[in-house]
Chain A
């Protein structure tokens, strides 16, 4: 509780700094591109179209009863947020060493601002997702009001992992390479492009240890099947995300004073 309160007070005090860091990221990202912020919408839409064509036509993946494109996009939208945000958060502390070395800034600010920045991008990618939901005739149902819950869970989980990764990366730069490998393993270990029922029961058990699977299937239950997620789904999502978030804060907080020696 104490650390959460502290994080809150840091957030209110350095609110403007976080805003500035996010706007900087946006400005730098889209500088000198003709379409600018429009890429936030176009890029995921096009990437997902490519994947959808490859997997449904070449590999002939399909999901009985529901639209494959929507199935794929729901998974990818959530997964891409996690993968991009953790990657940026991991390098955020190391990238800002010149600042940390000169001015006192609470170091939480860097991973947090990256996760928020990608979070705003994530909200943009919801636009193509909803376009696909409407055009494929999947339609919107009442339970969509519950989706923000899983988004918040995903955010908390991501920032928890981001805190841990950024800490490790400070002490051990190998982490950038290791994580690149880990994330591509995770891409295939998360049922994004395929249905979890396609694989053997024992292996399913392993995949279900991955919290991301639960967030994605929570969203799919609502979007594809139009049902309210079960109580156990709620509990798993909320528990894993809060737990990861707290562990992340503890790891980061315990180590942040040592960061400066590893520049």
Chain B
């Protein structure tokens, strides 16, 4: 069966300027202007010529050591960053769970934050109204609805955030290391919801350092290493990665 393509990543490269932080003040610009030096020594290619095609319904796991470019790639797919070179095309609405609760305001109550965060994700008021009870039920925070978020525990905030993020069934779901929050029972609930979404045909991009969970839910694994694709394949990639990482440690 010919599957529909959901995301096409075409020769994407991403360059960061590591020294950019220092360039923020007038003094620096002035000093550099006087010295007449241009700083492009500190360039760092986070991603180099990445080509990936992801089809509808695929659950893709991204693995790799810290700084391999996993999160950068997901941010590019989500549209948060623009790649230095290359193009990303996605067909379908994307729901990024890159970091939960990005749009929360700690001064406002949970109820107010549901609307604010929903708006940040691009939903209409009508839509949030209709899903409001679902969100509250899933998060199990009924009694705390009118408490300002600053009085919430981090686990409670994560619950609320997860509940809001997954109220729609997006065509593409981007998950970056989030299931580590909340207590065990809630984690299980999250996993169940995600599995339900996946079986419903949602394309999922999943980043995790837990190879266990990648093996459990992904049917395609991409191993990134220093900005290049080292291997694409099935669950076997996880084993190769594990061997590589452990082997590397022994050699050191």
Contact = CB atoms under 8 A, between A and B. Distances in A.
B16 A261 contact: yes
B119 A19 contact: yes
Interface residues of A, number: 28
A263 B16 CA distance: 12
A16 B17 contact: no
A250 interface: no
Contacts of B27: 174
Interface string A238-262: 0000000000000000000100111
Contact of B105 (A24, A103, A105): A24
Interface stretch (A50-58, A93-101, A120-128, A134-142): A93-101
B78 A27 contact: no
A3 interface: no
B78 A103 contact: yes
Contacts, number: 75
A174 B82 CA distance: 26
Given A99-B120, A102-B96, A31 B78 contact: no
A151 interface: no
A17 to B, nearest CB: 4
Contacts of B116: 20-21, 24
A104 interface: yes
A28 B107 contact: yes
Nearest to B29: A172
Interface residues of B, number: 33
B170 interface: no
A172 B24 contact: yes
B124 A16 contact: yes
Interface of B: 16-17, 20, 24-27, 29, 75, 78-82, 94, 96, 98-99, 102-103, 105, 107-108, 112, 115-116, 119-125
17 contacts: A20-B115, A24-B105, A24-B116, A27-B107, A28-B107, A28-B108, A100-B80, A102-B96, A103-B78, A104-B79, A104-B96, A172-B26, A172-B29, A173-B25, A174-B25, A174-B26, A257-B82
